[in-house]
Amino acid sequence: MSQRPFENTDVICENISYNDLGHLTFAGHDLSELAKEYGTPTYFIDEERVRNRCRTYIHAVKKAFGDKGRVYYASKASSFKRIYEILKEEGLGVDVVSSGEIYTASLAKFPMENSMFHSNNKTDLDISYGIDSGVGYFVVDNVEELDAIDKIAEQKGKIQPVILRLTPGIDTHTYEAVNTGKVDSKFGSAIETGQAKEITEVALKCKNIRLCGFHCHIGSQVFDSKVYIAAAEKMLDFVALVNTSLGFKCEILDLGGGYGVRYVASQPEIDIASNIAEVGRFITEKCKNLEIDMPIICFEPGRSIIADAGLTLYTVGTVKRIPNYKNYVSVDGGMPDNIRFALYNAPYTIIPVENTDTVRDMQCSVVGRCCESGDIIQENVYLPSDIHRGDLIACLTTGAYHYSMASNYNKIPRPPIIMLTKDGSYYAVKRETIERLAELDI
Ligand code: LLP
């Protein structure tokens, strides 16, 4: 088997193409030129694509829920100062999960009243920092945390708005590491076991907490709106139950993030607007049937805002052929900048940059430069058999959960983030240096 030069199956996102020189382009830029300017390995982000995805979400929730729709970007997908500036300009809120994300957002002067603070185990320091930073809502995972927030808010003389994270008992059938809505999840309080009602009762008694509503996040890389509808149904039934039994009127219902993106051609491209419209119709109808006011409805997309706006550019080093066994193409990055194959067996589209008109007849594993056999970016990739040291290759759809999950394993500095616009390109995050890696050593 081999792949023809630059196949349609490579065009998994509209920002991918190739030019008259036969070079791969991303967001209209020649990647070969970008490699000369910025070096490799490098993360590139198509700013227009990010902005368009933000607008798609904002318009979709407005259409479906009127002034009761909200979008919070899940910044764990990729957290750096410039992205918060863009989100602020586009009118999204943010979901943050640590003091580090709050700090980075604050560098961008992000209005923290438009933030939700997640995590299943916020430390006392996190709680204190979050309250001091003016975080809009704490998304509270469990009773111990509720208690800690109540005490710290009291010391500060503040009343902290919170929403409670619940598990509606929905199985998204996505990969296990991101399947979070099930009853046995490490996150939230389960409706099925009665713990959701218990934590609601406790929250209503806390003097320094204002309970505003409920949250659920059923999982990630989800392609089917039916699971959101199933989750919304369970959550709204619960909202109606606590309304009747505890007299609590839910103001906010947050349905989390999770819409999937395309890493390879066999995965669909989701139409966000029609999916949210479908969820919107269901929620409107369900609230009518339950005779409750529709709460403010929030979505927290991460991956579907930024994943396919990203690409990683690598330079090939060693090409090793083991006759009758396997071929390896090693690149100048690897598991420190992309841990997702090692962690989740995640699929990727990998394309040569300069020789897009050469038949790709060599099956190989694209691997990194770490001293570890598991340092694989992708197996069963087809590349031209004459690929050699110095050639460039691109790994697509690396905007989400790459920079944010990057490590310095083997003391390898993390790549920079370069933003691409219609008019040019600019640094959003500098390349790390080896000196910087040792900066904290005493
Ligand atoms: N809200 C909550 C509470 C979440 O936990 C997450 C993701 C999101 C929103 C955003 O989900 P998204 O729209 O990005 O699917 N490292 C994994 C993904 C972990 C997702 C964790 N939570 C990966 O690389 O696939």
CB–CB of 213/178 below 8 Å?
Answer: no
DSSP 199-224: HHHHHHH-TTEEEEEEE---BSSB--
Cα–Cα nearest to 38, from 331, 390, 434, 425:
425
Cα of 314 vs centre of ligand 1, distance in Å, is: 26
For 161-174, the pLDDT digits (tens) are: 999 999 998 876 66
Protein residue whose Cα sits closest to atom 21 of ligand 1 = 178
Q: Across the chain, what does the average pLDDT equal?
A: 95
For 283-335, the pLDDT digits (tens) are: 999 999 999 999 999 999 999 999 999 999 999 999 999 999 999 999 999 99
Whole-prediction pTM value?
Answer: 0.96
Burial-class residue 155 by CB neighbours within 10 Å (0-12, 13-18, 19+). exposed
Q: Which atom of ligand 1 is nearest the CA belonging to 139?
A: 3
Active site residue 371: yes
User: Looking at the DSSP assignment, which residues form a beta bridge with residue 312?
Assistant: 43, 395
The DSSP 8-state label assigned to residue 237 in this structure reads H
User: What per-residue confidence (pLDDT) applies to 426?
Assistant: 98
Residues with CB under 6 A from ligand 1: 74, 76-77, 95, 118, 178, 217, 220, 256-259, 300-304, 340, 344, 400-401
For 49-70, the pLDDT digits (tens) are: 999 999 999 999 999 999 999 9
Please check the confidence at residue 432 and state whether its pLDDT lies above 60.
Answer: yes
Please check the confidence at residue 175 and state whether its pLDDT lies above 60.
Answer: no
CB–CB of 350/377 below 8 Å?
Answer: yes
Name the residue of 75, 300, 305 to mutate for ligand 1: max ligand atoms within 8 A of Cβ. 300
For 109-142, the pLDDT digits (tens) are: 999 999 999 999 999 999 999 999 999 999 999 9
For 364-392, the pLDDT digits (tens) are: 999 999 999 999 999 999 999 999 999 99
For 78-101, the pLDDT digits (tens) are: 999 999 999 999 999 999 999 999
- Cα distance between residue 408 and residue 440, in whole Å: 13
